[in-house]
Amino acid sequence: METAELVCDQRGVRSKGQARALRRAGDVPGILYGPARPAIALKVSSDELAAHLGAISHQRLIRLRSQAPELEGKYIIVKDVQHAPVSGAILHVDFYEVDLGKPVGVSVPLRFSGRAVGVGLGGILQPLEREIKVECLPLEIPEFIEVDVSALGIHDVIHVSELQFTSGVRPVFETDYPVVTVLPPTVEAAPAAAPAEVAAAPEAGAAEAPAAEAEGEPKGKEAAAPGGPKK
């Protein structure tokens, strides 16, 4: 896979006051750790870090460039990024140093391709996972895992075990979980009224009107019946 580069510098005593001062100066405080080294405090440019995180997956392999020998040339992946809750500004970053000769577990995004058969029948494509965990050598970390959904009908499901992986990359899971399905249509069209029912409705209304008039006739006749005008 392609490797990005990120310039960083070692920083001194870790404190809240120092971290705030770094952010005001346009830097982000961070830390580098790994299985075979003590943690090292560092700082990186806020703009440069944001550009890397916006353009690539967090799990892409990055090579550090620094004047500090403890940091120069180290290969890392981004393990955690803390953001301000309101502004979204980056507050802190954690880097994890990797050994290029040893497999590492990382999360890789899924990319769905194709038009599902079930979608053509009115169904809705429903991703159930957006990324999956895989294990591979650092230089073989894929940027994404492609999932072809073309053959999916309504209610069909693709499980993680059915995905295609390049050589050297294997999924990490205990239960064979689903990653995408096609849901049935959520709203069904109301059935059209039968023509006979539509035609019968006016006839029924027309029959009721003469009946009402017939009920009123006897009352008129009874009022006119008593023997005419008196002499």
Is residue 30 domain-resident?
A: yes
Query: So what's the pLDDT on residue 171?
Result: 95
| Domains contained in the chain, number | 2
Is residue 192 domain-resident?
A: no
For residues 56 and 91, membership in a common domain is answered with yes
Region of residue 122 (phi > 0: left; psi between -120 and 50: alpha; otherwise: beta): left
pLDDT single digits (tens) 134-167: 999 999 998 899 999 999 999 999 999 999 999 9
Question: Which residue, of 34, 64, 97, is where some domain finishes?
Answer: 97
CATH number at residue 49: 2.40.240.10
- Asked whether the beta carbons of 181 and 157 are under 8 A apart, the reply is yes
Is residue 220 domain-resident?
A: no
Is residue 216 domain-resident?
A: no
Query: So what's the pLDDT on residue 191?
Result: 59
Whose tokens are 């971290």? That residue is 19
Is residue 9 domain-resident?
A: yes
- Asked whether the beta carbons of 214 and 221 are under 8 A apart, the reply is no
- Asked whether the beta carbons of 43 and 20 are under 8 A apart, the reply is no
Query: So what's the pLDDT on residue 37?
Result: 80
Is residue 195 domain-resident?
A: no
Q: Which residues lie closer than 8 Å to 187 by C-beta, 6 or more apart? A: none
Identify the band that residue 183 occupies on the pLDDT scale cut at 50, 70 and 90.
very high
Is residue 209 domain-resident?
A: no
For residues 109 and 170, membership in a common domain is answered with yes
For residues 89 and 108, membership in a common domain is answered with no
Q: What percent of the chain has pLDDT over 90?
A: 58
Query: So what's the pLDDT on residue 35?
Result: 83
For residues 139 and 121, membership in a common domain is answered with yes
Range of the domain at 177: 104-183
Phi, psi angles (nearest 5°) of residue 47: -65, -45
Query: So what's the pLDDT on residue 19?
Result: 83
Query: Does residue 208 carry a pLDDT above 70?
Result: no
For residues 151 and 88, membership in a common domain is answered with no
For residues 150 and 176, membership in a common domain is answered with yes
Cβ atoms within 10 A of the Cβ of 223, count?
Answer: 8
For residues 54 and 123, membership in a common domain is answered with no
- Asked whether the beta carbons of 11 and 22 are under 8 A apart, the reply is yes
CA–CA distance, 203 with 206 (Å, rounded to integer): 5
> Worst-scoring range by mean pLDDT, 112-121, 168-177, 187-196?
187-196
Question: Which residue, of 97, 115, 144, is where some domain finishes?
Answer: 97
Query: So what's the pLDDT on residue 211?
Result: 47
Enter the tokens of residue 172. Answer: 């990490």
Summary mean pLDDT of the chain: 83
For residues 124 and 64, membership in a common domain is answered with no
Q: How much is the average pLDDT of 185-200?
A: 58
Residues in the chain: 231
Of residues 161 and 221, more confidence is placed in 161
Is residue 207 domain-resident?
A: no
CATH number at residue 142: 2.170.120.20
Burial of residue 43 (CB within 10 Å: 0-12, 13-18, 19+) is buried
Phi, psi angles (nearest 5°) of residue 218: -55, -35
For residues 73 and 149, membership in a common domain is answered with no
CA–CA distance, 155 with 46 (Å, rounded to integer): 45
- Asked whether the beta carbons of 169 and 136 are under 8 A apart, the reply is yes
The residue ranges of DSSP E strands in the chain, in sequence order, are 4-10, 27-34, 37-45, 62-65, 75-83, 90-97, 104-113, 124-127, 131-136, 145-148, 157-159, 170-171, 178-183
For residues 83 and 110, membership in a common domain is answered with no
- Asked whether the beta carbons of 71 and 64 are under 8 A apart, the reply is yes
Question: Which residue, of 59, 74, 97, is where some domain finishes?
Answer: 97
Query: So what's the pLDDT on residue 220?
Result: 47
pLDDT single digits (tens) 77-106: 998 999 999 998 999 999 999 999 999 999
Query: So what's the pLDDT on residue 45?
Result: 94
pLDDT single digits (tens) 5-32: 999 999 876 677 788 888 889 999 999 9
